[in-house]
A and B are shown apart, each in its own frame.
Chain A
Amino acid sequence: MEKEIENISSTELYEEYSEDILRYSFSILRNYEEARDIVQEVFIHHLENEESFKGQCSYKTWLFVITRNLCLSRRRSKSFNNERIEEHSVKKSYTDTFDINISMRDALKRISKESSELLYLKEYEGYSYAEISEITKLSVENIAVKLFRAKKFLRKYLKDFKDE
């Protein structure tokens, strides 16, 4: 049975989820300015297609699916700068965590963009494998293996960083 769609205005959705969408698009694009552009495009796309949202998933999942599609499309475009995680993507503050954030940024550069996206969805958003599968259309087994490989790499990388 189709769920009743909760009536939420686009402004409320924007206020609620724009930060999450920014982080998610950053995890895919690794470019802060591009990620900010995507946030805008996601909500325009949502407004233009909101009648096609039938309530079969949460608004957040719906927006994440749009985000993912737009990011992948942006990544394929010729003008997209493919390689950088910009310096200002990490706030420069002299805290104990600053070094580890820098090393995490460097480590994330070295894994695939897909793995980076999966890590964000799993570790930051706390989605289950099944929910990630709903967003990315990858199989649960595939997600589990890719995440494990990525985290195994991160473990080694961060260990080497600490040992230096």
Chain B
Amino acid sequence: MKHFEYEINLMVENELPPDKKEKLLLHLAVCKKCRNTLLDYSEIKSNIIGFYNTLPENTKIRLPLTNKIRFSRKVLTPGALIPVSIAASIILAALVFIKPGIHLQKISSFPLAKNETAIGRINKLENFAFHKNRRGSKSIRKKKREIVVDYNNILVFNNVINQAIYLKAKNSLSSGLLSSGKNYDGENFNKVINSVLYNCYNN
């Protein structure tokens, strides 16, 4: 008797045309070997799903100051451990003793997109500070310092999106590229940024 392993695989993957599926089902009714094959392929499918479900979740917060620098194993060579540990101590001391300020001076190299406006950038920036809930009203994120913290002019972001959006907005506006719409010059922009950050700190 001819067996249909390839077609059975297609059926499990929902890729078998209906007419062929009908014929295959008739065959399966009389062929034990093919029924076992069907069970095996179904099991493989569920095993693959199970395997990927066991991957640890992508825990957030693991961001360096810039996109390209990562404190990974590649950076932490034995020779680099001493300066790194000194730097870590300084940062730790800063975290303990320095009150977060609102002087944001980090400039990045994210250019302004072609059809983007100053208002668009500001809206984006505000979108990561505020959640719009399903009813459309805005609510401030619950956790303090979830978005960005400025420790003595060092910015620490909780995820790469927030970092990138902030830096894009900051750079575009401070470079004077965005002057249409409202008059967001550098100083005004900093006020907007700072008010967003202030809300993050205090709510």
Contacts and interface: CB of A to CB of B under 8 A. Distances in A.
30 contacts: A10-B165, A11-B128, A11-B161, A18-B58, A22-B55, A43-B160, A43-B164, A44-B67, A47-B165, A51-B115, A51-B116, A89-B56, A90-B51, A97-B54, A100-B50, A101-B50, A104-B47, A105-B51, A120-B52, A123-B13, A123-B45, A124-B48, A124-B49, A128-B15, A148-B9, A151-B44, A154-B44, A155-B44, A158-B43, A158-B44
Interface in A68-100: 79, 88-91, 97, 100
A148 B6 contact: yes
B48 A123 contact: yes
A59 B158 CA distance: 23
B58 A22 contact: yes
- What bracket does the count of chain B residues touching chain A fall in? 35 or more
Nearest to A154: B44
Nearest to B74: A79
B15 A129 contact: yes
Contacts of A33: 72
A51 B43 CA distance: 42
Contacts of A124: 48-49, 52
B19 interface: no
Contact of A44 (B6, B114, B164): B164
B22 interface: no
Interface in B135-182: 159-162, 164-165, 168
B124 interface: yes
A18 B62 CA distance: 14
Interface in B31-82: 40-41, 43-45, 47-52, 54-58, 62-63, 67, 70, 72, 74
A7 to B, nearest CB: 11
Interface residues of A, number: 49
Contacts of B168: 47
Contact of A11 (B62, B72, B162): B162
A40 B160 contact: yes
Contact of A36 (B14, B41, B58, B110): B58
Contacts of A101: 47, 50-51, 54
A62 interface: no
Given A11-B161, A36-B58, A144-B10, A155 B51 contact: no
A18 B56 CA distance: 13
Interface in A1-58: 9-11, 14, 18-19, 22-23, 26-27, 32-33, 36-37, 39-40, 43-44, 47-48, 50-51
